Structure 1
Amino acid sequence: MELSTESMSPLQRFTRFSGHYLLLWFFALMACPQVVHSEIQPDTITVFAASSLRDAVGEVAQHYTAETGTDVVLVFAATSAIARQVGGAAPADVALLADQDWADWLVAQGTVAQVTAFAGNQLVLIGRDDAPIADPQDIEAALGDGVLAMAQVDAVPAGRYGKAALVSLGLWNSVAARVVQAANVRAALRFVELGEAPLGIGYASDLVALPNLTQVYAFAPDTHPDIIYSAAQVTPKSADFMVYLQSVAAQDSLVRWGFSRLDVAP
């Protein structure tokens, strides 16, 4: 049953409204492609990327531009929002997704020409200065009277992976009522940064980008679906960028930002 806003805590209301505002902003941006592309030249590509890729893909894009002379326009949002927008003919040349299911959905829609995996990640429990947890059954106790910050568990990859892990460990039913959901993984971890939530679920790569946070527990890979990042080619002009993502240089950047290396080109 969905809570009314009157019965929500301030944190829950903030989570709901901030998520709505983020999505409204993203959809408004996508509804005005002439603004996004008003100064885009033929030697420019537009990349829609999952929020968890913000720092890594920013670095990859800089190196790609330096090497090829092609500018890269970056748009970041939750994978679910990106997939729906690309499926609705948003002006993207390539979409970088944190969930293979959404990539498969785009293929089924006939929207993308090619999908290639280019990175992996690890699901972790994140806190501020918390001591490591050896037994996952201690997670509930570690929350104390606080809440658990997660990305949206029914749509956003990090949230779906997190819920799957908690279900696998037999913890979901005991913590579900204390989960505060955000529009994407970075928004969820913002609650932890601000001290509004003692713990949150995110990726190992988030710890590189957010050095004030620490890993409390690493979820075993067999507790959730494989975390694979996929590049979905939307237009032919992004073919070179798709290839570049597999290069040693791009893979080195991804590893530097906490992602797992996949096979790279020689």
Structure 2
Amino acid sequence: MKRLVLIFTIVSTLILASCTNTDAGNKTEILVAAASSMTPALTEIAAEFEKINKDIRVSFSFGSSGKLAQQIKGGAPVDVFISASSTDMDTLAEDNKVRLDTRTDIAKNTLVVIRQKNDDNSRLSEENPFTSKINHFAIGNPETVPAGVYAREALIKLREWETLKTKFVFGKDVRQVVTFVETGNAERGIVFASDAHSSDKVEVIYEIDPAMHSSVVYPGAIITATKQPKEARAFLEYMKTSHVQEILLNHGFTY
């Protein structure tokens, strides 16, 4: 009898150890390349996703959508792409780099003008957030950063582009634009509302009319060359759930 109990104990221990090793070491990892403006939201979403998909680990590569698209086009081992620009996704689609049947719009955003919180410099009238008295105005690089593209469109329509042309400080992504304003390296900046929402060091002083620029849509899709199509699809499908929509709304995104 004691021998049977001992055997049962050993077998049970081995089974438990096997399960533990599966949880710890045999997870399938997927790499999601995503617009930097989604960093806080996606970090929270991934943690929630992994709670209910214990065999999948989600890693991220955050950056400007334009540069991420270039990396994917060059063969970067990415499984899912979430862009802040339909144009960058379209470019990859034209080169058959994404699976068109998986493409879906995840969220929308708006543009705002920000300043450093507690900046009470009275010489800068907030009646005109684009006043020429500003020395440094930060936006994303329009060549690679969607927020910069939208900012340029808006400023041209608002007839402020030429006024600010010599004042611009270009960020490599929209998160860097926020940092420029947070640290005082730029008095003003144009970012997505979600980025302003994620910082306690800046405040919104002006909301740009969405009619002044192209619609800010975040499309997502599975990369054609992914080696984890099942897991990639599971994550992208999760992005459509009401729970994720609530998280995105809490981070300043819209629908």
**TM-score, normalising length from structure 1?**
0.78
What is the DSSP-based 3-state SS (H/G/I as helix, E as strand, rest coil) of the residue aligned with 2:60?
Answer: strand
Q: 1:139 aligns with which of 112, 129, 148?
A: 129
User: 1:100 offset after TM fit, Å?
Assistant: 0.3
2-side partners of 1:194 and 1:204: how far apart? Answer: 19
Separation of aligned partners in 2, 1:140 and 1:120: 25
Q: Does 1:46 align with 2:31?
A: yes
8 A Cα contact 2:27 2:57, kept in partner: no
**2:43 aligns to what?**
58
Alignment-mate amino acid for residue 58 of structure 1: T
- For residues 252 and 82 of structure 2, what CA distance do their matches in structure 1 show? 16
Compute the RMSD of aligned alpha carbons. 1.9
1:95-174 aligned within 5 A? 95-113=81-99, 114-128=102-116, 129=118, 138-141=128-131, 144-174=133-163
Q: Secondary structure at the match of 1:90?
A: coil
**1:15-54 equivalence runs, <5 A:** 43-54=28-39
Matched residues in 2 for 1:95 and 1:133: separation?
41
Distance 1:170 1:74, change over 3 A: same
Name which of 206, 222, 237 aligns with 1:233. Answer: 222
Q: 1:250 is aligned with what amino acid?
A: V
Q: Which residue number in structure 1 is paired with residue 253 of structure 2?
A: 259
Q: Which residue of 2 aligns with 1:36?
A: none
Distance 1:81 1:40 in 2: 32
Q: Are the aligned partners of 1:130 and 1:216 in contact in 2 as well (CA < 8 Å)?
A: no
Amino acid at match of 1:43: T
CA–CA separation in structure 2 for the residues paired with 1:122 and 1:211: 18
* Matched residue count: 220
Q: Runs ≥4 in structure 1, deviation > 4 angstroms?
A: 39-42, 130-135
**CA positional deviation for 1:155:** 2.0
Q: Is the 8 A contact 1:233 1:239 kept in 2?
A: yes
199 and 44 in structure 1: CA distance in 2 versus 1, 3 angstrom threshold: same
Residues 220 and 40 of structure 1: CA distance in aligned 2, closer, same or farther (over 3 Å): farther
Which one has a bigger Cα radius of gyration?
2
Alpha carbons of 1:82 and 1:40: their partners in 2 closer, same or farther (altered >3 Å)?
Answer: farther
Question: Post-superposition shift, 1:75?
Answer: 1.2
Post-superposition offset of 1:233: 0.8
Q: Per the alignment, in what secondary structure is the counterpart of residue 82 of structure 2?
A: strand
Paired with 1:52 and 1:227, the residues of 2 have a C-alpha distance of: 12
The CA distance in 1 between the partners of 2:51 and 2:213, in whole Å, is 38
Q: Tell me the percent identity.
A: 30
Unaligned runs of 5+ in 1: 1-38, 262-266
1:208 to 193, 197, 204: 197
Tell me the CA shift for residue 191 of structure 1. Answer: 1.0
- Residue type at the aligned position of 2:72: V
How does the TM-score come out when normalised to structure 2?
Answer: 0.82
Amino acid at match of 1:75: S
2: distance between equivalents of 1:100 and 1:145? Answer: 32
